[in-house]
Structure 1
Amino acid sequence: MLRRRPPLLLGVAAAALGVALTTLILFALRDVAPVVSLGVVYLVVVLAVASVWNAWLGLGTALASALAFNFFHIPPTGRFTITGGENWVALIVFFGAAVLASSLTELARRRTIEAEERRQEADLSAEMARLLLRGGRLEEALPAVAERLARALDAPSASIVARAEPGTFPLREGPRQIGTLTVDAPEPVLRRIQVRIVPSLEALLAAALERDALMNDAVETAALRRSDVIKTALLRSVSHDLRSPLTAILTSAEALKLAPDERVELAEAITEEATRLSRLIDNLLDLSRLEAGAAEARPEWSSIEEVLTAAIDDVPSGDFKLSVDTDLPPVKADAAQLERAFANLLENAQRHSGGHPVSVRARDVGGRILVRVVDRGPGVPKAHQERIFEPFYRSGSRGSGLGLAIVRGFVEANGGRVWVESLPDQATSFVVELPVPVSSDPTGEPLVPNTQNDREERSP
């Protein structure tokens, strides 16, 4: 902020007091130096007044000093009369020096003010650049830039918008108006803004708009690239996973024509492969809804034991051992989505269990329901544990890469989360955590979380 000048009346009083004090001091210095050479002492007051206020007050102080010097110290004293050539020369030289000193002081003061304004404007430009180009949303940065500009220029208010509308200063990039700056300030401040602030603000706003356009292009490009990746993965999945059951169905259908004694076995194969094909199509549809954000949960009070039992029934070929704690509180979630999620999780565990039974355990741990699905397969390497939940990602050659992505999508849609715990060549445990709302069940009884297992190991 620039330092304000003190009031003019205070400057007049300071000049009068300074001239009076200097006049008194010269009486004491008469015995030290000749009177005609003592006028230079008045220059101290002239320089001080001119530097603090302005050149005009400095010139007035110089005139007052010359009159006081003449009246009190240049013979004949007590009147405004000068005798002797040396006294005229002394007074003229003094007054000229005072005028010159006052002018130089005012020039130095203006240069100082201008340098301070330039520094202030440079700081303002740097701050505006930081706010506009740091990467946030332009609509959120513009009010902060306007507030910083108003504070720097002592303006009552300022506003900036990135569109063409009536205002104090139109902001342009070439012939195109890209924004509007509106400032409530005196005319000198407005002229300064027009000459020194508006050009840099126009350049910064144009750069910010171009950056936003580039970021939008980058986001769109990334989305397109992601879409291409998903399409490629989908084609690979479809080409491999759909071909297998279709081949089995076609082969069995052809064999039915030739082997009537084996029709029951072939019919079972057709049913099994058609069911597998139907499940794959269901997974593709579920994933498409999740990717599109259309898989909105419809929560209602549900029993986890019933959800897990229904999910086990959806995987008839598996061997599952279900263990559910007694008095397990219900959860408020979409039962159909949770059933689909657990069915995919169970099918994945059964596929990697190596023929061993899959353990399913549900318990209340500190007000949360934890469901663990444990298989005795080869385990999941550390590097794959997070990626296995990505669509179409396969850690091996088996599976379509859809099931675990659907598991995560449906669990998170219902306010829960899922993760995997595994070590190489050891059992793999998939953990689903679901919140238990502190509310009431359909009968009106309060749900109080069971805390008897609070010491259980929490999520990683």
Structure 2
Amino acid sequence: MPGAAPSLTLTSHRPRLPVVVGIAVGSIAAVTLLIYPLREVAPTASLAIVYLLAVLVVATLGGRTLGISTAVAAALAFNFFHVEPTGTFTIADGENWVALAVFVVTAIAIGTLADVARSRTLDAEQRRREADLAADLSRLLLGATDVEAALPAAATQLASAIGVPSATLVLHAAQGDAHHVAFALDVGPERRPATLLLPQRTDPGAPERIRARLVPGLEAILRAALDRQALEREVVETRALRRSDELKTAILRAVSHDLRSPLTSIITSADALASPAVLDDERDELVAAIGADARRLTRLVDQLLDLSRLQAGAAEPRPDWVSIPELLTVALQSIDARDGEFRLSADAETPLVQADAGQLERAFANLLENARQHSGGHEVSLRARAVGSRLVVRIVDRGPGIPAPELERIFEAFYRRENSGSGGAGLGLAVARGFIEANGGRVFAESLPGQGTAFVVELPLEAAP
């Protein structure tokens, strides 16, 4: 909407009075001169109609009063210069009296009609600009994700439309002062009133026109925008609650199954130990089974606790200088790795990294446990070496591999591949990624179906003391 457009709050904008008077005088003089050659081809009494052009122009530009004044002046000019006897305002012939009277009445009627047509045109143009302004504000406010953030742009657009230097829109009650007029905006019964602040104007009727023509539409747009924003927030909250319920259901399903299996085994083994008929060899097997299931439960509980800390943002690392080969060795011990299951190799001068040793040890233990479960009984290779500004650890198994669409999903909490053959809860990889990323690194999987999987961990290197 161009800034040079007439003010939205003004009912009409006419040229200045001296300009219109000059146009009236000039047009009457021009028509008076034009009638002289026309008298050779038409009766003088009928040529008065040419003055109607001047009356029409002046009435359109200056309004009804100036149009009537021009009509009277044109009648006097026609009488003085073209009605016998010329040079005086005396009229000798009765027909000329009638013609002049008809001309005056016609000129006044045309001036009045021109003024009415102009007023209606201006009113239609004003309403069109009001509709354009409402459409622009609707697009701006109704399309904004944050209504309050869009208010400065809406105020700028509004100020340009109504022809004031500036405007301010705020979503709270505000008072006017010596330089600003405040217009309270009703944006709903359950909300505080918004406020439109405009500069003081010299026109005393401007505030009332703004209140009558502009404020109601602005109130409706703001009310609709705020209602839409509230509905969007409710939808987002509803979706979050639904997803939270789905996540809780998934957790309960996964955890209940993974907790029940080792608990059932422990209870069964404990009941069997109480029997006097159990032999020593069987007793040793039952004790070993109880120990294995208890460790399995411990790992699951630890993973649940780790995941909850990560999701709550409470897993703040405590970095220190650590050796990754040593951490890998500790992680292998924590999962009771046996000979032939893993092969670790590292450069002789593997640099230290700044990280939380406990978090990385848990992350590597989860990655190693996952690789052992899917290696198909083959040896898993571990390799740690510095590559540029990063320390790269590759954990490679010789299992069935992972399809490309699932390479990212396997890091989601509680995600378990179909027919994977593992009995885990789907937490290990999610916890591993959370701890590694918390320490400034990243982890991803590379795999080709049937050719095994490589889990790659990259950690940033810093100059060690």
Corresponding residue for residue 458 of structure 1: none
Is the 1:296–1:413 Cα contact (8 Å) retained in structure 2? yes
Match for residue 261 of structure 1 among 280, 289, 298: 280
Going from structure 1 to structure 2, the CA distance change for 1:384 and 1:25 (only over 3 Å counts) comes to: same
Amino acid of the structure 1 residue aligned with 2:68:
L
2:449 is the counterpart of 1:424: yes
> Alpha-carbon deviations, 1:290-342, whole Å to 9, x = none?
22222234445554444444433433326233344566655544443333222
Larger RCO of the pair (alpha carbons < 8 Å, separation 6+) = 2
Among 76, 80, 92, which residue is 1:71 paired with? Answer: 80
Q: d(CA) in 1 for partners of 2:352 and 2:205?
A: 72
State the partner residue of 1:240. Answer: 257
Structure 2 residue 198 is the aligned partner of structure 1 residue 183: yes
> Are the equivalent residues in 2 in contact too, given 1:19–1:65 (CA < 8 A)?
yes
Deviations 1:353-394 (A, max 9, x none): 111122333455564444332221122234433322221111
Tell me the residue number matched to 1:284.
304
Superimposed CA distance per residue, residues 226-259 of structure 1 (whole angstroms, 9 cap, x where no aligned partner)? 2222221222222221223323333444444445
Alignment of 1:35-184 (within 5 A): 35-166=44-175, 167-173=182-188, 178-184=193-199
Match of 2:248 in 1: 231
Two-structure CA RMSD over aligned residues (Å): 2.8
Say if 1:197 and 1:358 are closer, same or farther in 2 by CA, change over 3 A. farther
Shift of 1:13: 2.1
- Matched residue type, 2:428: G
Q: Give the Cα separation in 2 of the matches to 1:81 and 1:59.
A: 22
Paired position in structure 2 for 1:356? 378
Decide whether the 8 Å contact of 2:352 with 2:464 is kept in 1: no
Moved more, 403-412 or 307-316: 307-316
CA contact (8 A) 1:153 1:189 kept: no
- TM-fit CA distance, 1:195: 2.6
Count of residues in Structure 1 that have an aligned counterpart in Structure 2: 440
User: How far does residue 400 in structure 1 lie from its aligned partner after superposition?
Assistant: 0.5
State the one-letter code of the partner of 2:57.
A
Q: Could you say if the C-alpha distance between residues 90 and 347 of structure 1 is closer, same or farther in structure 2, counting changes exceeding 3 Å?
A: same
Confirm or deny: 8 A CA contact 2:187 2:222 kept in the other structure.
Answer: no
In 2, the alpha carbon distance for the partners of 1:310 and 1:59 equals 106
Q: Is the 8 A contact 2:183 2:211 kept in 1?
A: no
Counterpart CA distance in 2 for 1:367 and 1:75 is: 109
Tell me if structure 2 keeps the 8 A contact 1:163–1:178. Answer: yes
Give the letter aligned to residue 170 of structure 1.
L
Aligned partners of 1:249 and 1:269 also within 8 Å:
yes
Give the letter for the 1:348 counterpart.
Answer: N
Secondary structure in structure 1 of the residue aligned to 2:186:
strand
**SS of 1:136 mapped into structure 2:** coil
Partner SS, residue 394 of structure 2: strand
Shift of the 190–249 alpha-carbon distance from structure 1 to 2, 3 Å rule, reads same
Q: Is the 8 A contact 2:392 2:457 kept in 1?
A: yes
Give 1:404's aligned amino acid. Answer: L
Question: Does the CA contact (< 8 Å) of 2:265 and 2:293 recur in 1?
Answer: yes
Which structure 1 segments of 5+ residues have no match? 444-460
Cα 1:86–1:366, aligned 2, differ >3 Å: closer, same or farther? farther
Residues 323 and 352, structure 2, Cα contact 8 Å, conserved in 1: yes
Say yes or no: does 1:315 pair with 2:330.
no
SS of corresponding position for 2:214: helix
Conserved 8 A contact 2:155-2:168: yes
- Structure 2 residue 365 is matched with structure 1 residue 343: yes
Report the residue type matching 2:295 in the other structure.
Answer: T
String of CA shifts for 1:133-156, please: whole Å, max 9, x gaps. Answer: 225112112222222222211133
SS at match of 2:315: coil
Are positions 1:194 and 2:211 aligned together? yes
Instruction: Say if 2:17 and 2:62, in contact at 8 Å, map to a contact too.
Output: yes
- Residue 174 of structure 1: CA displacement? 5.7
Cα 1:56–1:307, aligned 2, differ >3 Å: closer, same or farther? farther
User: What SS does the corresponding residue of 1:157 show, helix, strand or coil?
Assistant: coil
- In structure 2, do the counterparts of structure 1 residues 14 and 366 end up closer, same or farther at CA, with 3 Å as the change threshold? farther
What does residue 372 of structure 1 align with? Answer: 394
CA distance in 2, matches of 1:338, 1:7: 82
CA deviation vs aligned residue, 1:40-69 (integer Å, no higher than 9, x gap): 222222222322333333333323322222
- Distance 1:323-1:175 versus aligned 2 partners, 3 A rule: closer
Q: Which amino acid aligns with 2:361?
A: E
The aligned residue for residue 31 of structure 1 is 40
Offset of residue 286 of structure 1: 1.0
Q: Distance in 2 between matches of 1:416 and 1:53?
A: 78
What is the identity, as a one-letter code, of the residue corresponding to 1:181?
Answer: L
Question: AA paired with 2:308?
Answer: S
Cα separation, 2, equivalents of 1:53 and 1:15: 10
Q: Indicate how the Cα distance of structure 1 residues 7 and 247 shifts in structure 2: closer, same or farther if over 3 A, else same.
A: same
Structure 1: distance between partners of 2:103 and 2:349:
106
Contact 2:184 2:193 in 1 (8 A): no
Q: 1:121 to 1:431 in 2, by over 3 A?
A: farther
Determine if contact 1:5/1:53 at 8 Å carries over to the other structure. yes
Structure 2 unaligned regions, length at least 5? 7-12, 176-181
Instruction: Give the 3 Å change call, closer, same or farther, for CA 200–305 of structure 1 in structure 2.
Output: farther
The answer on whether the counterparts of 1:178 and 1:206 sit within 8 Å (CA) in structure 2 is: no
Counterpart residue identity of residue 103, structure 1 = T
Identity within the alignment, %: 55
